[in-house]
Copies of this chain bind each other. A is one copy, B any other.
Amino acid sequence: MELRPIGIVHNEVRPPQKMTPFGVPSTVEILPQYEEALLHIEKHSHIWVLAWIDRGERDVLQVIPRSGNELRGVFAVRSPARPNPIGLTSARLLKREGLTLYLDKLDFLDGTVVLDIKPYFPVRDVHFA
């Protein structure tokens, strides 16, 4: 199960401690060999971005989340620390220009490797408790 980079995140935030919980305006630059995979992406108002959080500690199983003081399992939080450090964030797709996707906000740092782009489907993806 080996992953291939398909793009890269660009924004103004490099040090992790400067990232805000809900992210910052960002672009995703898709690698040229994957241009065909973007066909009709602009029909979607929102997309999912999956990224490889290389600073995520893979051997930590419990953490105290930013917004609490109680220990939780890493499968019960969205922390980058997890056995497979795949980050998952949805964003509004503002526009596409060639290989570049303009997003309203992403909480991935500048230079983060992108693994996948998926369309957001409200019928699949919206839930309320």
Contact = CB atoms under 8 A, between A and B. Distances in A.
Nearest to A48: B88
Nearest to A30: B75
State the copy count for this chain.
Answer: 2
Contacts of A77: 118-119
Interface of A: 1-6, 22, 30, 34, 36-41, 43-48, 50, 52, 58, 61-62, 70-78, 82-84, 86, 88-90, 92, 113, 115-122, 124-129
28 contacts: A3-B3, A4-B83, A6-B83, A6-B84, A30-B75, A34-B61, A34-B75, A34-B83, A37-B73, A38-B76, A39-B62, A39-B72, A40-B70, A41-B73, A43-B76, A44-B76, A50-B86, A75-B119, A78-B118, A78-B124, A83-B116, A88-B118, A90-B124, A90-B125, A90-B127, A122-B128, A122-B129, A126-B126
